[in-house]
Structure 1
Amino acid sequence: MRFAWIDLREVPRPQLQAVVDAAVHARMTGVVSADAELLGTLPPTVTRVLVPGGPTTASAKKGDKETKDAGSSKEAKDSAGSKEAKSDSGIDVLLRKFTTQDELDALAAENRAASGTPAAGFVDVRDDRTLQLSCAGAMALPYTVIHFADPTKIPLEIVLAAAESAEGKLVTVVSDLEEASIVFDVLERGSDGILFTPRSADDVFALARLLEATTPQLELSTLTVESIRHVGLGDRVCVDTCSHFEEDEGILVGSYSSGFVLCCSETHPLPYMPTRPFRVNAGALHSYTLGPDNRTNYLSEVGSGSALLAVGADGRTRRVVVGRAKLESRPLLEIRTHAEDGRLVSLTVQDDWHVRVLGPGGKVLNVTELQTGDELLGYLAQDKRHVGLPIGEFCKEV
């Protein structure tokens, strides 16, 4: 599970207590500080990370001379800080910089001795030598905190690959929330954790929302086809995502916000044209589609950069990003179904054989071949909607 450590060392003093309170309230995993007394005031639910001898990561982010000289010149001070921290029950982890293999070996040996507070390492990656050192640290230490000097994420990819089998946790320094969201997605696995310096308590709560952003497992329902009719020319939307759909995946689309049909992607072979494994021929532009955070959008609102839910026949979901949406006039077909509770679920799609929906078990069904009594997969929403958000109000859609 991904996590965050809040770095207090560069938080403005007027904001410090508010940030500390926010970190505890938002259940941040850890707090980093050079102030052992401050860390000692935190509850044991927070991992208290002490940087002995003063700033390490903050200075490295600036690339200043103090950090470059911090390795050997502070060893004695860091060692003293280590002994002090070990005698202080308010410290859970020591974070010390390593710049050579010998320093890394010393940290690893300290952890193997298991004689006190676990030692984590910090490394500033600026070239191939320090990149290889960070890979070694990720394999040897319980926590390896890495600051990457350059904006490219290729070095992070290399460390993630090198540390695939490591038991320790990789923590990446990020400059803002946007970078945090990127770091968590690198190689689909992402960094185990991040180290973030907030400017205010608001930043802490925004980070908490980012950490909690997951897609739900949906309970899909079986819908029974009532009728199918040709309704004439209208505008339909093809949704082209930036992801490759699985064979049993699609997106949820419906004419009413209370119910959706699982529309199939074009992953399966078709005559006369190649597959489009990124595409769903979704439906008429008035239709709702379900996105992350239990929010709906009209297909007319979907465009490049929009986020939607890819949904599998077993109800699993994942976030996908839209690359483009294609709006074109085509003959349309209305499919009316009902759920077991009698609820009406309607879908209007392009009237063509190659447009398909999914049935129970992920069965692929061509919309022009549907018959009364056929079963489709769908999702029944429990909430009414206003501007796409769930709301507890009376609303009837016909």
Structure 2
Amino acid sequence: MRFAWIDLREVPRPQLQAVVDAAVHTRMAGVVATDAELLRTLPPTITRVLATAAPATATAKKPGDAEPGAKGQKETKPPAGSGIDVLLRRFTTQGELDALAADHRATGGTPAAGVIDVQDDRTLKLSCAGAMALPYTVIHFADPTKIPLEIVLAAAESADGKLVTAVADLEEAAIVFDVLERGSDGILYGPHGADEVFALARLLEATTPQLELTTLTVEGIRHVGLGDRVCVDTCSHFDEDEGILVGSYSSGFVLCCSETHPLPYMPTRPFRVNAGALHSYTLGPDNRTNYLSEVGSGSTLLAVGADGRTRRVVVGRAKLESRPLLEIRAHAEDGRLVGLTVQDDWHVRVLGPGGKVLNVTELRTGDELLGYLAKDQRHVGLPIGEFCKET
């Protein structure tokens, strides 16, 4: 589960209280500050992270050592009732990292967080070691390339700790969460105002839903003549049971198959869906529809599997060409009509129950298709509770 820590250290003073209130309201995972008194005012639902300037130097407690807080012994955990959950300390050497890890072991599992600036090969290797040894490792990458982050993610694949990447803005946060398809566990972000906290909350919630697909029964097929159809070329490789949802009506869609399966006379195009006529709706993220005529380079669509799983895919291009068209009419168990107009060609396919691949020119009355029934009508692609009849 990805998360964010709000860094208060660079927040403009006039905006500080509003940012704190927004962090609490949006249930951000944590807040980082150098002001212990400020952190103590926060509710226990937020991880209160106290950033200290001093590097880690404590060592693990051995039998006979003085109790924490005694003369000559450095405190290695926040005292009970302090209102501080995690101490964030900088480490720049292997010795300082070892001290942080020893603190964590000595305090019986109290979370320890280390922060490091990755500027070269030495600090990159040290950040990888930190990700393996600490409950939290906060990394600031000096260079804009995401290759060092990829290396840390790969090195820490089996680690129990959480990797937190410092980001400069929300655009970088979105990128960091997608690196290697896994992304950083969390981000550290210093907003300029409360609006950015709310925008970050929306980014964290931007997951795609599991859809409940339904079985549709074909009731009619007819050749309708020449028209314009759209092929959607995405920037992703579809699985064999994946496609996109397309329909002539906003209330219902058919799962159109990608060109992942072998075809005679031409190679596969595992990134493409021969989707349908340009008037058709396609279901995208955030429960919003778009006409195929509106889809283009940079658009985001919803890839849907036969089991209802979904993910975002980015469109590389949409290709509009005139072709003979075929209209498919089907109905759901409740009698709802679902229509789909596609290119009239054997190479165009839809998916049936269980991910069965069906060539559209071989469909017959009574055949079963996989589809999705929307709960609302649409206005400019957005769901709306109004009366609307489509024929």
TMscore range, shorter length: over 0.9
Measured against aligned partners, the alpha-carbon deviations of 1:147-181 in whole angstroms (never above 9, x if no partner) come to 00000000000000000010000000000000000
C-alpha distance in structure 2 between counterparts of 1:226 and 1:21, whole Å: 56
Matched, 1:253 2:246: yes
Gaps in structure 1 of 5+ consecutive residues = 54-69
CA RMSD in angstroms comes to 1.8
Measured against aligned partners, the alpha-carbon deviations of 1:228-263 in whole angstroms (never above 9, x if no partner) come to 000000000000000000010000000000000000
C-alpha distance in structure 1 between counterparts of 2:276 and 2:312, whole Å: 20
CA 1:337–1:97 in 2, change beyond 3 Å: closer, same or farther?
same
Match of 2:289 among 296, 300, 306: 296
Gaps in structure 2 of 5+ consecutive residues = 60-71
Could you tell me which residue of structure 2 aligns to residue 224 of structure 1? 217
What TM-score do you get using the length of structure 2 for normalisation?
0.94
Letter of the aligned partner of 2:140 in structure 1?
A: H
Q: Cα distance, 1:116 vs. partner?
A: 8.2
CA 1:81–1:203 in 2, change beyond 3 Å: closer, same or farther?
farther
The structure in which a higher percent of residues are helix is: 1
Matched, 1:29 2:22: no
Measured against aligned partners, the alpha-carbon deviations of 1:56-82 in whole angstroms (never above 9, x if no partner) come to xxxxxxxxxxxxxx7599x9xxx9995
Partner-residue secondary structure (3-state), 1:45 = coil
Could you tell me which residue of structure 2 aligns to residue 182 of structure 1? 175
Could you tell me which residue of structure 2 aligns to residue 17 of structure 1? 17
Letter of the aligned partner of 1:13 in structure 2?
A: R
Q: Cα distance, 1:118 vs. partner?
A: 2.8
Q: Contact 2:229 / 2:321 at 8 angstroms: preserved in 1? A: yes
Could you tell me which residue of structure 2 aligns to residue 154 of structure 1? 147
CA 1:116–1:233 in 2, change beyond 3 Å: closer, same or farther?
closer
Q: Cα distance, 1:85 vs. partner?
A: 3.8
Measured against aligned partners, the alpha-carbon deviations of 1:344-394 in whole angstroms (never above 9, x if no partner) come to 000000000100000011110000010011000000000000000000111
Q: Cα distance, 1:86 vs. partner?
A: 3.0
Partner-residue secondary structure (3-state), 1:361 = helix
Letter of the aligned partner of 2:145 in structure 1?
A: T
Q: Cα distance, 1:83 vs. partner?
A: 5.8
Q: Contact 1:33 / 1:39 at 8 angstroms: preserved in 2? A: yes
Q: Cα distance, 1:88 vs. partner?
A: 4.9
Q: Contact 1:86 / 1:117 at 8 angstroms: preserved in 2? A: no
C-alpha distance in structure 2 between counterparts of 1:14 and 1:321, whole Å: 39
C-alpha distance in structure 2 between counterparts of 1:143 and 1:253, whole Å: 44
Could you tell me which residue of structure 2 aligns to residue 41 of structure 1? 41
Letter of the aligned partner of 2:367 in structure 1?
A: D
Could you tell me which residue of structure 1 aligns to residue 67 of structure 2? none
Q: Which aligned pairs between 1:77-116 and structure 2 lie closer than 5 A?
A: 85-86=78-79, 88-114=81-107
CA 1:99–1:284 in 2, change beyond 3 Å: closer, same or farther?
same
Q: Cα distance, 1:89 vs. partner?
A: 2.5
Could you tell me which residue of structure 2 aligns to residue 191 of structure 1? 184
Q: Cα distance, 1:114 vs. partner?
A: 1.3
CA 1:295–1:308 in 2, change beyond 3 Å: closer, same or farther?
same
Could you tell me which residue of structure 2 aligns to residue 373 of structure 1? 366
Q: Contact 1:357 / 1:364 at 8 angstroms: preserved in 2? A: yes
C-alpha distance in structure 1 between counterparts of 2:345 and 2:139, whole Å: 53
Q: Give the % identical residues.
A: 86
